[in-house]
Structure 1
Amino acid sequence: MDTSNKVAFFIDFAEPEYSLGLIEGARAFFKKQGMEMIIFETGNINSPSKTYGYQRLSIASLISANTVSGMIFVSGPQLYNTTPEYLESYLKSFAPIKIVSIGYDFPEYPCVISSCKKSMKELVEHLVFKHSCRKIALLTVNSHANDVQLRTEIYRQVMKEQNLEENIIFANNLGYVQTVEALKEVNSKSCKFDAIVCMNDEMACACIDTLKSAGIAVPKKVIVTGFDDEMRSSCITPSLTTINQNIYKQGYAAAKMLYDQIKGNPVPHKKVIESTVIYRESCRCISTDMKKGLYLDSKGSLHESELKDVSFYEISKWFTNRNHFIRITQLYTNMQADISLTALSHRTRDDFTSFGIQSAALCFFKNPVATDKFEYFSLPQEAYVFVAYDNTAEKAVYYDEAMITFNPNKTLLPDGLISDYENVQVVAIYKGTILYGYALYKRGPYDPTIYSISFKMLSSTIANAFATTKVLREVELAKTVSVTDEMTGLLNRRGFMTLGKDMLMDSLKKGKGGIILFGDIDGLKKINDTYGHSSGDKAIRAEAAILKEIFGKECTVGRLGGDEFAVIAPKLTEEKFVALYKKIKEKCKEYNKSSGEEFTLSISIGCVPFGKKTSSSLHTLLSLADKELYKEKEKHYAEKA
C-alpha cells in the first residue's frame, strides 16, 4: 500500500457540522496536492458511556506508518472525556507518523487553535452595553477542553469587570436532551435571567425551545446566544446570534501544516484562527419582521446568509431527510430477515449503491473478537475481504467467490480493490462486545446520519448472518467468537472463564485444591508509550510464552485482556508457587538478556488458594488474587526505588 499520498483524519464523529466543516477544509487542501485523506470515525477515546461504543476506537489501530504518512487529530471533542496528559500519551503510540492537532496545543505536536478571546468578550459585552443585560447566565459543561475553559474564563472576566454576578448552569454534555434536563426547573416565574450564553448552537436551540415551552418569549424576555454558527442558526425562529469559528479554515490550515511536515518544510508550532460574532434575531439586533437570513457583523454591517431562500431550505431539507429516513426504514425491514453470510455479501453492493455509496469494502477478522473496554486494540494478524466493489471501475469481489486474506497491520485493504482512497471513511463493525472487523466506504449525497444508521443496522445484520450460517457452534456467545487469544495463543477472557469454571468445579468435586493466580506485566503502558505498541505486543507474547512453558498442560492459562494474565493450577500449593514464581522471574531475565529489545520484561503475580473452605466462584477468587497482585506491585516498585 503506497502511503506517500495518504493521510488519516482522526475524528470522534463525522456527522456534526463541526466535523463536516473541518473535513471539508482539510480535504480541499489535500485534493490540490493530489493527496488522499482517509477519515477514521473513532468515537470517544475514554467514553464514559456504558454501552459498547468503545468498539469504534478499534479502527485507530489501522493508523500506522504502513497505511498513512501523517494524521490530523481532532483533539477538542476528545477532551470532554479525558485529560490532555492522557491524550498526549495516546498520540505517542502513533509514532513515527507526523501529527497535527486541531483544538488543543500539545507541546510535541503542531496545532491549529480557534481563538475566541476577542469574539467571546465582544459578545458578552454586547449583551451588557447594547442590550443592558445584567443577569447573564452561562450554559456550559465540565470539561478539560481548551475552548470550553477559555469561553468560561472570558465570561467570568467580563462579569467581574462589570461588577455583575456570575450565573453558571452545568449540563452533563453539550447535547440537546442534556440541556433540556439542565433547564428543567426553568419556568415563567422562576427564570431570573435576561440573557443565556450557551456553549454551542445545539444547547442554544434546546434553550430556546425550553424557554418557549415555559411561556418565556425569546428574545423579548430572555436573549439566547450560541456558538458555532451551524447552518440551522439562520433558519430557526428566532434566528440565532452566535460565534463563527471559521471551521473550514481550521481544517484547511491543519492540512497545510501536516503536508509541510511530511515534505520536510518549516512548520510553525501553532496556527491561530480567529472567531467572529454573528448578530441575529435572538439578541434583538435583527428584527423578526425583517427578511430571514440577515445578520450583522461586528462592525454593524448587514449581510445575507449564503442560503438565499432560508424558508425554502428548511422545507426542502425536511422533505429530503424525510425521504431518506423512509428509505432507511425500508432497508432495516429488509435486514430483519434471517440471511446467510453468502447472501449478505452479494446483497451489500446493491443496498449500499442504492444509498449513493459507489465504492466500499467490508473486511472481517478471521475470527471475530470479543473485547472488553480497551485503550489500544491489538489488531488480529489475519483478515479477509467479505465484499469489495467499485462501481466507477465496474469491479466487485465476494468472499465466497474469491477468498482474499491479508494482514490488517500492514494494509487497510489489498491493492486494486478500490480505485482510490479519496473521500473514504473507515468505521468499526461490531455488535455488543463482538468486533467483526471494519468497513471502508465513500460517502454519497445522503445526510451523514443516514450512513451512520446504515452501518449500525449492518452490524446487527452481520451478527445475525454469522449465527444463521452457524460459523461457530460452541456456547451461545461462542457461536461467533473463538476462545483463543489471537495474539498469544492462550485462552481469551471468555475461554478462560468458561473452561476455568469447569476445571475449578471438577477439582472441588474431587476434593482437591489448588491455586488461582492473577498477574500483569510491569510497566506495559510505559513500554507502549516509550517504544511503541509493537514493542508492547512483543512483551505480551513473550510473557505468555513463559507462562505457558512454566505451567504446562495441566493448568489453565489465559490472557484476560491487555497486560492481564490468569492461571488455574490444580494440585499446586502456595509454597510450591514460590519456587515457580522465582523461575518465572529468571525466565524474564533470560529474555531481557537474549531478546535484544530495549524494554525490560517482568511480571507481578498475586496468588490465592482454593479448596473446600474457600469460595467456589472463579470471579471471587480472581478478585482476591487481584488484591494480592496489588501487594506484589507495591513490593516491585519498592525494590526498584
Structure 2
Amino acid sequence: MRTYLADIGSALTIEDISEATRLHLEALGVKSFYIAVYDKPVTHRKEEPWTEPEGSQLIIGYHNGTSITQSKRRMRINRGQLLPSVYATGKKLRAMIVCSLYFRDEIIGFMMIDQTDITREIYDILAGNVSASLKTAALFKAREESEQKLLEVLHQLEQSNTQLQKISEIDELTGLYNRRGFLNLARRSMELARQMGRGGLVFYADLDGLKRINDVHGHKAGDLAIKTAAGILRKTFRNMDVVARIGGDEFTVLALDTDKQFIPVFRKRMEVLQAGENKTLGKPWKVSISIGAAPYNPGEATPLEKLMTLADADLYREKQLKKKNA
C-alpha cells in the first residue's frame, strides 16, 4: 500500500493514475475495476437529498485484466447506469464494490471494484487517494491549458506589438523608415559600429522643387515625386544602409563601414538612377535630389543629431552650388 500511495501521490495524468491503480489492484487479485467521472461535479452535503447526475464518462477501466479505455475517446455512461451496457451484462453474476469519489463537498465520480477479500479500509483508502489524484490531475491539466492560452495570448500580443512598432517607425507614403524609426535603428547601428571600430557616413537629402510640383501639378504629382525620390535613394544605397524619410521632402541615410572617399560614388550612382527614373516617368516635371554628407568617426562621441546637422549644412552648400551652376 505504501508503494501505491507514493505512486498515485505523484501521478499528474489520468494515464499515471490508471497504471498505478492497475498494478496495485492486480497485486491484490483484482482483474476488473472501473473509474468514472460525472459530467459536472455534484455538490452534496449529508443533510441534503441526493440528486443523480445527468451522466458520466468512463476514464479508467480494466475488464478481466484488459484495458477498455486506451482510446482518447471516453466511453459515455448514461444516467441511471454504472457501466456502459456492453460491460454491465454477462452470463455470470458479478459482485462489485461501488465507492464514491469526492473532494471536499464535491462528488466527482465513482469507482467500481471486483469484490474480493480486500478489507473495507483498503477500499476507502483507494477511493480517497484516487479522488485526490483525479482532482490534482484536473487542476494540473487546467493549469497547463491556462498556461498554453497565456502563451498564445502573449505571442499574439508580441506579434501585435511588433507590428505596431513597425507601423510606428515606417513612413506610410514611401515605405522607408520615418524619423522615429531612423533614430532608433541608426543609434543602435552606430553603437555596434563604435564597438567594432568601424566608421561610416550620414547623408541628408531633399527633393528639389517639391513646392513648385505641388503648386503647378497638384499634390498627387508631389506624392509621386516623393515616392520616386525614395526609390532612387533606396537603390543608391546598400541593403545594409538605413534610409529614411524624416518629413516632407527631406531624407536621411546612415551608411556604415564606408568613408568620405565613397561620397562621389554614391552621388554618381544617384544621378544615374535619377536620370533613368525621369526618363521612365516622362512627366513635365523632373525629380532632382540634392544630398550632403558627414563622416562618422567611431573614435569620437559625435551624437547622431549633430552628424545630421553637419550633413544638412553640406546639403545646403550642394544646393547653393546647383543654383550657381544653373
What is the TM-score of this pair, normalised by structure 2? 0.49
Counting helix residues as a fraction of each chain, which structure ranks higher? 2
User: Which protein has greater RCO, CA pairs closer than 8 Å, 6+ apart?
Assistant: 2
What is the TM-score of this pair, normalised by structure 1? 0.25
User: Greater Rg, structure 1 or structure 2?
Assistant: 2
